[in-house]
Amino acid sequence: MSAMDELLNEQRREMIMSFVKEPQYKPMKLKEMAYLLQVSSGDRGVFRKILTELVEEGKLEVDTAGRYRTPERGVYLGTFIGNAKGFGFVEVEGEKEDIFISADSVNGALNGDKVLAKVSEVKTGNRREGIITKIVERGTTQIVGTFQKSKNYGFVVSDNRKFTKDIFIPKEHTKNAMDGHKVVVKITKYGDDVHNPEGHVVEILGHVNDPGVDIISVVRALNIPDEYPKLVMKQVESVPEEIDSNDIGGRLDLRDVQMVTIDGEDAKDLDDAISLSRTEKGYQLGVHIADVSHYVQEGSPLDKEALKRGTSVYLVDRVIPMLPHALSNGICSLNQGVDRLALSCIMDIDKKGKVVGHKIAETVVRIDKRMSYTSVKKILEDHDEEECSKYKELVPMFELMLEVSEAIRERRTKRGSIDFDFPESKILLDKKGIPYDIKPYEHNCATKLIEDFMLMANETIAEDFFWQELPFVYRTHEPPAQDKIEHLSTMLANFGYFIKNTGEELHPKEFQKLLGKIEGMPEEALISRLTLRSMKQAKYTVECTGHFGLAAKYYCHFTSPIRRYPDLQIHRIIKENLHGKLNEKRIKHYERILNGVADSCSKTERRAEEAEREVDKLKKVQYMTAHIGEVFEGTISGITSWGMYVELPNTVEGMVSVNSLIDDYYYYDEENFKMIGRNTKKEYNLGQRVSIKVENADMETRTIDFSIVEEEVQ
């Protein structure tokens, strides 16, 4: 089906749904609907197909007489989220409240399935309760789990505890897997209330104790591609190792301009470089970004694979790149001392950090030095004599960078930009993949100045294209929902902090003021995380609705096309615009595809974040297995009816079960976020420092159990 046919069918779907939702609509058969909607006889087949799809998706129902109607009131289309105990919830898009599904009302639904749920009058707590009436679409076609062998068959226990049933594997489809093997299983039958699902082993990843198997299991479970198709690798064969002199013609030649890259020591995909000079009225800042779109043409195998991946995935022991290494570490990487093609945003900035003019150009650059954050920090913060001497020709530019960065940051702070600065962890592994230390990532002046320059370029590009009214992909962040703000306000009150909550849309300055008050306080990390959790997630959209967290009216992702597809996508638009090729045909083309691109990139970003989070979690559990019985100091980071979460300084979080508090019978004071002893009246509060003992670390469930050994650390 062509893109035009897809667009036409989407319009037909919208027409049908608008028609059946009209107040005067009465259920009718296909023939009657086709007549009233003036569907030609030649289009009847397509019309029937669309109606069938809408029924399968749960958006329409068809009764025994063949009449179509919208689902009865109280029936919702959503995604089933299973729980290891058998019950689950249905998440409905646009609904604040999930629907609780008891174990006997699941009716064969499995985690991730698209379902129809009918809400009953019964409520569980404050949550609606319902029953699943139809499985519209299966959400899982394969799972990753641990194989258990029997004489004539096998079973696979899913790694995902929300997938609550073991998978039965006939002997002829076990692929000779042995006990303890991590395997990928393709589901062939989904079972029912009586029968387990069935499947075939399609890949053996290795034994559960083999190095790296735990991480590749996460990668496979989330369907993250980690190998490139043959067509892609064939295209890579034609990628040059050095730029062609013919490609330089017509580009702005910046090879004599002093510029550097500043990255982490182990970075290999260097996609941004900085140049900076003082001018009569302020500064000229150049942000030079690898011209990846020159080598990755739209619609090519490389491009399709890059869109499928959406982003590079950074895990503790590996990077799964969006683009093959020949590009990401080779011709597209802005390596020191070699000519590279770039797309540059050159900004004139006044002394107060405001962009007063800019130029976007295709350029050719040559990096003078590949710098690390550590080296630049040594020069600017530590004034290290050896480092300053080693890079003496660059020191004046670094000092100027700090000056400009501070001006930009001050301006951004004044408008209300929120700067979350809580510790992130770096997990260090030995050669066998076993974690031996967990350290906080260091944020210093060097990381901050690069962040400031990248944000400035992203805002400048976004504003430029917004006012040109051209199709584009923006990075947007909506204000937090009112119920989340109310919840946060209640928690903050326990610490003696308040945010101005009038019920109207909150300004980001309120969060900024809060973070300023807690800076340097013991509860800073906890409150920062609680505040972050109250926020909505940023996403990619074709509408420029602003970025709440940055307090920015215009924002996009322009600076990382090696590792993010949205950046690559807008580079193409920018370059076509520079060459005057954005005619009506190309504008319509982008209007047709960009919604899908933005949606796909938002989803792959979530997938990458989930992979990173799950891998960090399992490695933290593995790290704590070596510390069972030891005592640590931590902070109560969460309280629920079943216990308290305690976070250690190294960012490891564990649970103190309410049942382990044996000195009294404790209950959860939900209104004040406290755990209170009924007899002793002893209280445990959010942010309270406690001493804990590590009782258990379970690799299968990825959970850590603590017990309290002292009442409170003074």
Contact 204, 175 (CB under 8 A): yes
Q: Supply the CATH number for residue 120's domain.
A: 2.40.50.140
* Residue 381 sits in the same domain as residue 403: yes
In a domain, 354, yes or no: yes
In a domain, 452, yes or no: yes
Assign 348 to helix, strand or coil: strand
Contact 661, 712 (CB under 8 A): no
Of 535, 553, 578, the residue at which a domain comes to its end is: 535
Within 8 A by CB and 6+ apart from 23, the residues are none
The whole-number pLDDT of residue 609 equals 95
Residue 17 host element (H or E): helix 3-20
In a domain, 215, yes or no: no
The whole-number pLDDT of residue 421 equals 66
What amino acid is encoded at 36 in this protein?
Answer: L
* Residue 297, domain extent: 230-477+542-613
* Residue 118 sits in the same domain as residue 170: no
* Residue 192 sits in the same domain as residue 265: no
* Residue 364 sits in the same domain as residue 473: yes
How many angstroms separate the CA atoms of 234 and 211, rounded?
31
List, in sequence order, every residue forming a beta bridge with 350; answer none if it has no partner: 282
Of 95, 116, 137, the residue at which a domain comes to its end is: 137
How many angstroms separate the CA atoms of 412 and 353, rounded?
9
Low-confidence ranges of the chain (pLDDT < 70): 1-8, 94, 121-126, 421-423, 502-503, 710-714
- Report in angstroms the alpha-carbon separations of 450 from 356, 445, 622, 642, 662: 20, 9, 34, 43, 51
How many angstroms separate the CA atoms of 631 and 624, rounded?
11
Question: Nearest-CA neighbor of 185 among 152, 143, 226?
Answer: 143
Assign 89 to helix, strand or coil: strand
Residue 577 host element (H or E): helix 565-578
Question: Nearest-CA neighbor of 181 among 152, 153, 203, 150?
Answer: 203
* Residue 340 sits in the same domain as residue 269: yes
In a domain, 511, yes or no: yes
Contact 368, 338 (CB under 8 A): no
* Residue 276 sits in the same domain as residue 400: yes
The whole-number pLDDT of residue 711 equals 55
Prediction pTM value: 0.86
> What are the φ/ψ torsions at residue 709 (nearest 5 degrees)?
-115, -15
In a domain, 589, yes or no: yes
In the numeric block, the tokens 């302020």 are attached to 282
* Residue 381 sits in the same domain as residue 400: yes
- 3-state secondary structure string across 442-500: CCCHHHHHHHHHHHHHHHHHHHHHHHHCCCCCEEEECCCCHHHHHHHHHHHHCCCCCCC
Number of domains in the chain: 6
User: Which region, left, alpha or beta, applies to residue 580 given φ > 0 means left and ψ of -120 to 50 means alpha?
Assistant: left
Contact 647, 526 (CB under 8 A): yes
In a domain, 220, yes or no: no
List, in sequence order, every residue forming a beta bridge with 75; answer none if it has no partner: 118
Q: Supply the CATH number for residue 167's domain.
A: 2.40.50.700
Contact 369, 396 (CB under 8 A): no
Helix ranges (H only) for 500-558 are 508-518, 524-533
In a domain, 622, yes or no: no
CB < 8 Å & 24+ apart, contacts of 432-436 = 432/211, 433/211, 433/212, 433/214, 433/215, 433/317, 434/622, 435/316, 435/619, 435/620, 435/622, 435/623, 436/623
The whole-number pLDDT of residue 423 equals 63
CA atoms within 13 A on the CB side of 508: 23
The secondary structure of 379-440 as a DSSP string is IIII--HHHHHHTTTTHHHHHHHHHHHHHHHHHHHHHT--------EEEEE-TTS-EEEEEE
In a domain, 218, yes or no: no
Question: Nearest-CA neighbor of 89 among 125, 141, 53?
Answer: 125
* Residue 29 sits in the same domain as residue 151: no
Within 8 A by CB and 6+ apart from 355, the residues are 347, 348, 349, 456, 459, 460
User: Which region, left, alpha or beta, applies to residue 629 given φ > 0 means left and ψ of -120 to 50 means alpha?
Assistant: left
Would strands 99-101 and 88-91 be described as parallel, antiparallel, or unpaired? Answer: antiparallel
How many angstroms separate the CA atoms of 696 and 702, rounded?
11
The whole-number pLDDT of residue 714 equals 45
Question: Nearest-CA neighbor of 304 among 606, 593, 560?
Answer: 593
Six-digit token pair at 378? 């040594």
Contact 270, 338 (CB under 8 A): no
For residues 336, 338, 343, 344, the Cα torsion angle rounded to the nearest 10 degrees is: 60
* Residue 48 sits in the same domain as residue 85: no
How many angstroms separate the CA atoms of 540 and 307, rounded?
14
* Residue 61 sits in the same domain as residue 194: no
Question: Nearest-CA neighbor of 516 among 643, 381, 417?
Answer: 417
How many angstroms separate the CA atoms of 148 and 180, rounded?
7
> What are the φ/ψ torsions at residue 303 (nearest 5 degrees)?
-65, -45
User: Which region, left, alpha or beta, applies to residue 48 given φ > 0 means left and ψ of -120 to 50 means alpha?
Assistant: alpha
* Residue 87 sits in the same domain as residue 59: no
Of 16, 39, 69, the residue at which a domain comes to its end is: 69
In the numeric block, the tokens 């609680």 are attached to 530
Contact 242, 338 (CB under 8 A): yes
* Residue 26 sits in the same domain as residue 146: no
CA torsion sign, 305 to 309 to 310 to 311? negative
